[in-house]
Amino acid sequence: MPALGAASGTEPLLSVDDIREDLRFLVRTVEDVHPALSDAGRRAAFHDQALQAVERLQAPMPVGALFFLAQRVLRSLPEPDAHTGLAYRPVEPVLPVHFRWVSDGLVVTQAAPGSPVRPGDVVVRLGGLSPEELLDELRHVVPAEHDGWVRARGEALIRQAFMLRRLGAIGTDGAVEVVIRRATAEPGAEVEQALLVGLVSPDRPMAPGGLEEEARPWFGWRIEPQHSLGFFWLDRCDDTPDYRQAVDDFFEAVAVSGVRKVAIDLRRNGGGNSAVTDAFLRYVPVDRVRSYRSRIRFSPEADRQRGYGLVARMVHAFAPLAPNTVRTPRPARRDRIFTGDLYILTSPHTFSSAVWFATVFSDNGLAMVVGEPTGGAPSSYGDILRFELPRSGMGFSVSHKRFTRPDPGRDPAETLAPDHWVPTTVESIRQRRDPQLEWVRAAGL
């Protein structure tokens, strides 16, 4: 099995036979597992379209090129699915820059020592491509239900040598030309500059004093009495005892302090276990909520990886006949139930189970969503099974469930749109402001 990439930028070549075996395995696995292909007609259409790429193969290619080809094959699915895709993480040089794609541009948030690019610079062109052209190229690479997730994933991808080679962005000297707009000392003025940025080891540290989001534990909270606000952040969906205890402690503090607003920050949350929602549902002032429904595509692989048996199939067969309402868990002290204003903060980085969390609260009228559209759709495919291509060794994931939101009358929707759209802008990044939290702090005052 070839190694996946090298620091020199030279990738191992796969033979035509190896590539065909990998692609056929990918297509066969997706056909057997994915819920969108449970219908024979859809399955045949996907098969015919996907295997056109196999038949066109005439020459060996690097492993990285197979990644791009396989991602294009997956775009033949009849519906978008951000959870089904390949994982390719070569150990290669990177641009010594961190990017953030905001509502009005692509901005540098951090740079390595000695880099000519500075935090706060706005990218006009990267390797000759505008942000709009970069986005168009990334759409072929990033599985997504809409462009917000493409931008979110693209922030890291456009630093990688294998992606920059694909874009034709690396010059003959091994550097990337980055054209930027830089703020000057004169208020509101900017200057445009073309800079050459060389690639460096991925282990090279970034310079201090950048504009990255503050590092913090993956969950935590604070009370802001001056804003009558309790603020809880959750940066991944991991339903641990410590997390549940923190939610209990948070609402105890909310009750004791008497604050009338609670904000749950899911802006950095890429998903995980949707059961994290239950800890917060304990403190809402309703005894029942509408929940998600799921449709499982049963298969030998799903049985092997999830342990499905006859009982699971029978329960699933009768599930559509049951109401989609569930009883909310109740806290030990009902006087700790929160009856004030509840807000959920979202961004394009809010994905998967974090979208589930926000959607359950939104569809049940329990919270107002503030910020930017989520990275994933409220109704979507998910619960991935994991596989490995036989020749290249690249890992890939395939959804085996279709999830439908609590209020399907709000579909079709490619994202959970906020009730109050509060964008992150270049200027808010430069000034280290948090516009969504500022909005919540001011709400109701």
DSSP 290-313: E--EEEE---HHHHHHH---HHHH
- Interior angle at CA 165, CA 159 and CA 171, nearest 5: 95
Q: CA separation (Å) from 364 to 27, 184, 237, 416?
A: 39, 48, 20, 13
Answer for the pair 372, 418: CB distance below 8 angstroms, yes or no: yes
Nearest alpha-carbon partner for 65 in 161, 162, 172, 174: 162
Q: What is the DSSP secondary-structure string of 79-121? A: S--TT-EEE------B-SEEEEEETTEEEEEEE-TT-S--TTP
5 pLDDT above the threshold of 80:
no
pLDDT digits (tens, 9 = 90+) for 93-120: 999 999 999 999 999 999 999 999 999 9
Q: CA separation (Å) from 412 to 17, 33, 249?
A: 41, 24, 38
Q: Which residue has the higher pLDDT, 322 or 429?
A: 429
Once rounded to an integer, what is the mean pLDDT over residues 363-372?
98
12 pLDDT above the threshold of 80:
no
- Alpha-carbon distance of 265 to 345, in angstroms, equals 5
Among positive and negative, which fits the CA dihedral 74, 79, 80, 81?
negative
Which tokens sit at 363? 């569809």
User: Judging by beta carbons within 10 Å of its beta carbon (0-12, 13-18, 19+), is residue 304 exposed, middle or buried?
Assistant: exposed
Once rounded to an integer, what is the mean pLDDT over residues 290-319?
95
Once rounded to an integer, what is the mean pLDDT over residues 267-283?
98
Query: CATH number of the domain at 97-198, out of 3.80.30.20, 3.40.50.620, 2.30.42.10, 3.40.50.300?
Result: 2.30.42.10
How many CB atoms neighbour CB 237 within 10 A?
24
Give the domain ranges of the chain: 97-198, 219-287+328-378+413-442
Confidence band of 10 (pLDDT split at 50, 70, 90): low
Query: CATH number of the domain at 219-287+328-378+413-442, out of 3.90.226.10, 1.25.40.80, 3.40.50.11860, 3.40.50.300?
Result: 3.90.226.10
How many CB atoms neighbour CB 86 within 10 A?
22
Which tokens sit at 201? 């080891």
Element (H, E) at 169: none
Element (H, E) at 19: helix 16-33
pLDDT digits (tens, 9 = 90+) for 390-445: 999 999 999 999 999 999 999 999 999 999 999 999 999 999 999 999 999 999 86
pLDDT for res 156: 96
The mean of the pLDDT values for the chain is 94
